[in-house]
Amino acid sequence: MLWRRRKKTGAEFLVVGLGNPGEEYRQTPHNLGYMTIDRLAEDEGIRVTRPEENALVGLGAIGGKSVVLAKPLSFMNLSGGPVKGLLRRYDLTLDRLLIVYDDLDLPWETLRIKLKGSSAGHNGMKSIIGSLGSSDFARLRIGIHPGRRLASGADFLLRPLRREQLDEADAIVNRAAGFVRRLLAKGAEKAMADCNRRARGQQTEEQ
């Protein structure tokens, strides 16, 4: 049922940023996916305001490609339903999907592109993989681990960023938006090679 044909819309890619709706979550680490979509929308003049499939979406062009930008409104742990619905609505296959989300397994400021893989415990990704029945789609992971022992990962994810972190988060979002553009322009494999540089303190690059 997922790939039942729908009317052609002209969209070439679906870029989804994960997060939680609501002002109280707007500047939390768990919303860096949302923030990346907002940055792309601002830079490219795309209004992400139209409600579709329990998400806010905007259609526009990035790097010469027709793109749907989306922010699910279902809360992070139920992201799969909106993503599946949008793929079906825009008649797109998994190779035209990019998910942008925060990752507590990566150090703060680290970015990684992967072309497939497990959820690694991330509930938003677990929901998407479960809904799609596949993990074969690209994702841009934004590292948020602060480099210290956390009493509660959940509390950290949903706690507003400190004032001194906001400038850093702004730079991270700029970089993430840049890699989304690179992926759209050059393809996922080239963008992955460019993005996946050795993280600060790592001994080997991630494959």
Kind of pairing between the strands at 50-52 and 55-62: antiparallel
Burial class of residue 31, CB neighbours in 10 A (0-12, 13-18, 19+): buried
Reply yes or no on whether 30 is catalytic: yes
DSSP for the chain, written as a single string = -TT---------EEEEE----SGGGTTSGGGHHHHHHHHHHHHHT----EEETTEEEEEEEETTEEEEEEEESS-GGGTHHHHHHHHHHTT--GGGEEEEEEEEEEETT-EEEESS---TT-HHHHHHHHHHT---SEEEEEEEE-SS--S-HHHHHHSPPPHHHHHHHHHHHHHHHHHHHHHHHH-HHHHHHHH-PPPTT-SS---
Q: Is residue 22 within 8 Å of 34, Cβ to Cβ?
A: no
Q: Which one of the listed residues 25, 30, 99, 102 is annotated catalytic?
A: 30
Kindly list the catalytic residues: 30
